[in-house]
């Protein structure tokens, strides 16, 4: 019996990655805490893997007709038993209202394990940066380092970040923080 159990566990360990998508395979996936991660567009299989990994909510901050978007993502996520939030953010014109709509949705149930995503994890990582700094008390330098591991925001997104931080009385100054980017 012990040998059979060990064999089953070994087989599960070897075969496990073959069934269901590995979260690290989602484009630009980054886990910030046990309850918050961001990424680029997951596939249908990766959405199921998120549910299997304990995610309870998916927040999509792009448009349903964005290149590479899954047309029925909302239905897939709901069928998997997760909550679905969508705040369509225009890439060239993100607004403070967009961020506050996103943050308000997450704040209704702040401990819910959430994946925030867009197509490439640029919008999502910028919103995650702001959310973590403003609502989770993550230091600006740490949150910025995480965001910069995905991308360095362009002028449009930098301006949004600065405006939201200023609205909330948070300084963007931090040791080693360079907010300039090649546009």
The pTM (predicted TM-score) of the whole model is: 0.87
Residue 182 is predicted with a pLDDT of 52
Q: Could you tell me what percent of the chain has a pLDDT over 90? A: 82
Residue 60 above 60 pLDDT?
yes
What would be the CATH architecture of the domain defined by 20-167? Answer: Alpha-Beta Complex (3.90)
Domain spans of the chain? Answer: 20-167
Poorest-pLDDT segment among 12-16, 87-91, 139-143, 166-170: 12-16
Name which residue leads in pLDDT, 21 or 101: 101
pLDDT value for 37: 98
Instruction: Report which of 89, 97, 96, 94 is spatially closest to residue 156, judged by C-alpha positions.
Output: 94
In the prediction, which pLDDT does 122 show?
98
Instruction: Give yes or no for residue 41 having a pLDDT over 60.
Output: yes
pLDDT at 85 > cutoff 70: yes
pLDDT band of residue 21 (cuts 50, 70, 90) is low
pLDDT in tens, 159-175: 999 999 999 999 999 88
C-alpha 154/C-alpha 138 separation (Å) is: 22
SS (H, E, C) the chain: CHHHHHHHHHHHHHHHHHCCCCHHHCCCCEEEECCEEEECCCCHHHHHHHHHCCCCEEEECCCCCCCCCCCCHHHHHHHCCCEEEECCCCCCCCCHHHHHHHHHHHHCCCCCCEEEECCCCHHHHHHHHHHHHHHCCCCHHHHHHHHHCCCCCCHHHHHHHHHHHHHCCCCCCCCCCCCCCCC
Q: What angle do CA 18, 24, 29 make, to 5 degrees?
A: 145
Write out the two tokens for 172: 């963007």
Asked if residue 9 has pLDDT above 60, the reply is: no
- pLDDT tier at 54, thresholds 50, 70, 90: very high
> What is the pLDDT averaged over residues 88-109?
98
């Amino acid at each position: 019996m012990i040998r059979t159990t060990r064999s089953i566990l070994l087989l599960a360990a070897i075969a496990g990655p073959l069934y269901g998508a590995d979260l690290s395979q989602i484009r630009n996936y980054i886990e910030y805490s046990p309850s918050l991660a961001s990424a680029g567009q997951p596939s249908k299989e990766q959405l199921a893997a998120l549910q299997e990994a304990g995610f309870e909510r998916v927040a999509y901050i792009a448009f349903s007709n964005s290149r590479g978007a899954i047309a029925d993502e909302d239905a897939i996520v709901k069928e998997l038993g997760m909550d679905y939030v969508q705040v369509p953010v225009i890439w060239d014109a993100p607004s403070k209202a967009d961020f506050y709509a996103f943050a308000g949705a997450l704040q209704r149930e702040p401990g819910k394990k959430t994946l925030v995503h867009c197509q490439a994890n640029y919008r999502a990582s910028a919103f995650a940066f702001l959310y973590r700094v403003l609502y989770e008390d993550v230091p600006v330098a740490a949150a910025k380092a995480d965001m910069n591991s995905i991308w360095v925001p362009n002028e449009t997104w930098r301006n949004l970040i600065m405006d939201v931080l200023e609205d909330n009385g948070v300084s963007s100054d931090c040791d080693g923080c360079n907010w300039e980017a090649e546009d």
